[in-house]
Structure 1
Amino acid sequence: MIRTVEVREARELLDHLLPLIASPWLYVVVFAIVAIDGFIPAMPSDPVVIGLAALSASGPPDVVMLAAVVITGGLAGDRVAYLLGRTAGHRVRNPKLVMAKQKAERALRRHGGGAILVGRFLPYGRTATAMTAGSAGLPPSRFTLHTTLAAVAWATYAIGLGRLGGETFARSPLLGAAFGIALGMVIGGAYTLVERRRAKTAAEEPEPELVASGRR
């Protein structure tokens, strides 16, 4: 989901990317943005991808190439976060990431690797679930399976929102990009409200132990 504090930064990034809109270098930059967002969750990849997808409805970039770099960038960033979790997950100090990591631990206890798919759509959830999977000893094969599903699902979601905005405002690509980003924020806000209500109920439930061997 889109983190609202990053929308301004995303707009600035889009402004810088527009001169590259027809250049192959655009895909290299998008790959880097999506990958880095996997282990440094201050990089606003969500609105950038949505905005570029909206522009693709009426011209470049090529939507197939965009989808390819978003998925591969997602896999690369998740792998780095997983390895960081295995080696230094206990050293996390960022308050928001610590809170997200605690939620990820509870989700992994309940749902195993499937929590990676859900976490991909939550603020800080992508980094938290990948790092927690690494520190909890989730087998690499299971992590790869679930992170691949998560990368494909998120790329479909983000590019789909962008294309919807681009098709809706075909004569104004930038307005279409803004519409797609705004729609993503609305969806993210609604989901957050639902999760908060659900968390109040789940907080009193006993949590099963996370047994790494049971997730193989």
Structure 2
Amino acid sequence: MIEHVAAVVASPWILPLLFVLCVVDGFLPPVPSESVLTALATLSVSGAGPHVAMLVPVAALGAFAGDQIAYRLGAQVPMERWPWFRSPRGRQRVRWVRAALRDRGTALILAARFVPVARVAVTTTAGATAYPRSRFLLVTAFAAPAWAGFCALLGLGAGTVLPLHPLAAAAVGVVAGALLGMLADRVIRLSRTRGRMRSRRAATRW
């Protein structure tokens, strides 16, 4: 099995595929670009694939392009038509994102880049609410390489700790990336809860 994985990773199409995956992940939450990038970075330690110096810029460019597509889609397609925003919980998240973009848009866009579903909600809502385009470009231009670099670092760390077991190291890296996403999601949820509490206190004062 290791030989088959190595053959796929060593394919000349792996970098174009990574780029496309990162682009699509910008507006389709189920696409796991973090997992693939982390696994490829892990395998690069053993020489079984592209060097991490190529992986990071390709993934960053793909992520940046995906964010711009999501922004444009949000500006053109009503949020109610997006399948993952139709539920009451989805609509509640969109309302919170709209308010958070007004108050702390830069921090929200940066944090959401590390959470698969949240980043789609944030970028599409940014487009739907006419968040300043120039500011969105600037923030995502920083967030995309930061995300790609961090995922690659996770993969490199896993590959260094388990150099003799590349598939096990890749699995560890993927799990670490998933945990990072969960942690970022938790931070965003706590921020949302505190925002609601502040709003209630302000309403009570009046």
Shorter-chain TM-score above 0.5: yes
What's the CA shift string for 1:41-99, capped at 9, x where partnerless?
11111111111110011112211111111001001111110100110143323247545
Number of the residue aligned with 1:42: 30
Counterpart of 1:69, as a letter, is V
Match 2:52 to one of 60, 63, 81: 63
Which secondary structure does the structure 1 equivalent of 2:197 belong to?
A: coil
Between 94-103 and 175-184, report the one with greater CA deviation. 94-103
What's the CA shift string for 1:124-146, capped at 9, x where partnerless?
12111111111111222211111
What's the CA shift string for 1:109-128, capped at 9, x where partnerless?
22123321111112412111
Between 40-49 and 110-119, report the one with greater CA deviation. 110-119
Equivalenced residue count is 193
Gaps of 5+ in 2: 201-206
Residues of 1 paired with 2:135 and 2:183: CA distance?
30
Decide which structure has greater helix share: 2
CA deviation after TM superposition for structure 1 residue 181, in Å: 1.5
CA 1:74–1:196: 2 relative to 1, 3 Å:
closer
The structure with more radius of gyration: 2
Let me know the Cα RMSD of the aligned residues.
2.4
TM-score, structure 2 as length reference: 0.83
Number of the residue aligned with 1:119: 112
Q: Is the 8 A contact 1:113 1:138 kept in 2?
A: no
CA 1:99–1:37: 2 relative to 1, 3 Å:
farther
Match 2:150 to one of 150, 154, 157: 157
Residues of 2 paired with 1:87 and 1:18: CA distance?
42
Gaps of 5+ in 1: 1-14, 208-216
Q: Is the 8 A contact 1:49 1:158 kept in 2?
A: yes
CA deviation after TM superposition for structure 1 residue 196, in Å: 4.1
TM-score, structure 1 as length reference: 0.80
